[in-house]
A and B are shown apart, each in its own frame.
Chain A
Amino acid sequence: MLRVADICKTFNKGSINEKTALDNASLFLDKGEFVTVIGGNGAGKSTLINCIAGVYEIDAGRIFLDGTDITYTPEYKRSQYIGRVFQDPLMGTAFDMTIEENLAIAYAKGKPQGLRPGITRDDVAFFKEKLALLGLGLDDRVKEKVGSLSGGQRQALTLLMATIVKPKLLLLDEHIAALDPSIAKKVLRLTDEIVKEEKLCTIMITHNMKAALEYGDRTIMMHDGRIIMDLNGKDKQGVTVEWLIDQFSRKVGAQLDNDRMLLS
């Protein structure tokens, strides 16, 4: 479904701030595969996702989605097939617009735009049905502005917006990192439900190693712009957080900066 072949990305090329964020990173995802990504700060996880999404143009390599070369496709066009949830709960929604208006924009993906009514009565009924599944009581609040929602509610809404038109690929960049533990757990569970239900091909970056092992079919570890470990299927079974940390220090020859990593 997704093939990332030897992509490189260097920021601020030629200046003293030059930083190679991706160094010949390659990744292959099968249809419906759910991959979790871990790695220290600055490992290049976000950059990988942003390059796949088209936020940054890559310096070298190729990206294929469902057999189509999207390496030079503009971000907004790729977004027709890619759903995204960001770390910052403010990034995924338009705060000054209502819940139903936000959903309507997401629901218009891949449909003719233009001067049709933005929201029909059928749409609202459908949105309410979908919102009810989140179990956060948002289905009664469709006419409220998103600005009045909590971070967790916004992330759940963004998740729904990213998947309301089934994407070929779902990209989640630490989408629960900014949330309180209890609501983070809830959003994580919702994510897992939606991904499984829709059989979505998903890349989920997480700072929570336990969650990375618990969820998904596969876990990859990044360091210095490269993928240094890829635990697939049965390799992943029985793996503990301690083992992962140990592997990391062996491969990298340094301690994992676990100040931001949640080990439990």
Chain B
Amino acid sequence: MQLISWATLQGSLELGIIYAIMALGVFISFRTLNIPDLTVDSSFTLGAAVSAIMIGISQPFIGLAFAFLAGFIAGTVTALLTTKLKIQPLLSGILMMLALYSINLKVMGGRPNIPLLNKPLIFSFLQGLAGARYTKLFFLMLILALILFLLYLFLKTKLGLALRATGDNDQMVRALGVNTNVTIIIGLALSNGLVALSGAIIAQYQGFADVSMGIGMVIIGLASVIIGEVLFGVKTLLRRLIAVVLGAVVYRFVITVALWLGMPPTDLKLVSAVIVAGALSMTVINEKFQSWKNKRANGGCEGGQM
């Protein structure tokens, strides 16, 4: 069997970096706010769609900004459904996912797929620069580092602190005079903004936007978050954020290796689901294992004694 080529690994790393932006969005909703927001699947596509149609209309980077904005609005609507109309977060997300499917198709002008070949993209300006092989990778790293830095700063502001506390203990936050509806709206908006931004960059990276490209995204994001937590810890905020990024990269590598081992690409979503189910049940499995060990350690007295 042949070894994985360096080009494949580098591609995998690049994808991991782009998906890490999405995973950071999922981290904000699932972990920071403690809200299982399923809007992600279609706000990812929304970002891709918006940035795809913006190409040719304006600068590709402005397209990214609009993609972020579109995701931001989508997240705001989900949050309004939850906070103002008191629809359960899970349902709010599903409703938005459904609604956005139609909206995404509208944005894409009714086409399920928009190819972006030979168009000016965010990566175009890199052509002709020295070290052509790695420019894309460095450029993506730069974007991710910038986002990570800004997000970290934001979560350390007064608003950021209140937002994090909302996920921890919303009653306390209200008792301290903060409107938790506002923190939830801002959190979900920011989360889906990042997800849409990630979708936009993916579209530019792979050269097309597809109406179904976001399916399963929330699970991939969650898998990245959990893998990051397990492998790299949760001690401080900065560590948590970096763990999410590393989790996204590791997830991508796992998928790459699985594909290289011959897994058909159509099984990808199944594997993602299994990884997340496994990771989510880890605590239960751990407890079961502990109690089994304890029982064994207690030896023969299991049946007989009082």
Contact = CB atoms under 8 A, between A and B. Distances in A.
A184 to B, nearest CB: 21
A147 to B, nearest CB: 9
A80 interface: yes
B164 A94 contact: yes
B172 interface: yes
B161 A110 contact: no
A77 B177 contact: yes
Interface stretch (A111-119, A199-207, A234-242, A254-262): A111-119
Among A77, A105, A161, the most chain B Cβ lie within 10 Å of the Cβ of: A105
Contacts of B173: 76, 94, 105
A106 B169 contact: no
Nearest to A78: B177
A96 B168 contact: yes
A108 to B, nearest CB: 5
Interface string A101-133: 110111011100111111100000000000000
Interface in B130-168: 154, 156-162, 164-165, 168
Interface in B154-207: 154, 156-162, 164-165, 168-169, 171-180
A170 B128 CA distance: 67
Interface in A22-70: 53
Contact of A92 (B154, B162, B164, B172): B172
Among B159, B164, B177, B179, the most chain A Cβ lie within 10 Å of the Cβ of: B177
Contacts of A80: 177
Nearest to B170: A94
A233 B169 CA distance: 38
A118 B172 contact: no
A219 interface: no
A117 B156 contact: yes
Contacts of B172: 91-94
Contact of A101 (B161, B174, B175, B178): B161
A75 interface: yes
Contact of A84 (B158, B161, B175): B175
Contact of A105 (B154, B156, B171, B176): B176
A91 B169 contact: yes
B157 A105 contact: no
Interface string A146-182: 0000000000000001100000000000000000000
Given A118-B156, A118-B158, A105 B169 contact: no
A154 to B, nearest CB: 11
Given A115-B159, A116-B157, A91 B171 contact: yes
A97 interface: yes
A79 interface: yes
A104 B169 contact: no
Contacts of A101: 161, 164-165
B174 A79 contact: yes
A74 B181 CA distance: 12
B150 to A, nearest CB: 11
A76 B160 CA distance: 17
Contacts of B175: 53, 75, 79, 84, 92, 162
18 contacts: A74-B179, A76-B178, A79-B177, A91-B169, A92-B172, A93-B172, A94-B172, A94-B173, A95-B168, A97-B164, A105-B176, A105-B178, A106-B176, A108-B162, A113-B162, A113-B178, A114-B157, A114-B158
Interface of A: 53, 74-77, 79-80, 84, 86, 90-97, 101-102, 104-106, 108-110, 113-119, 161-162
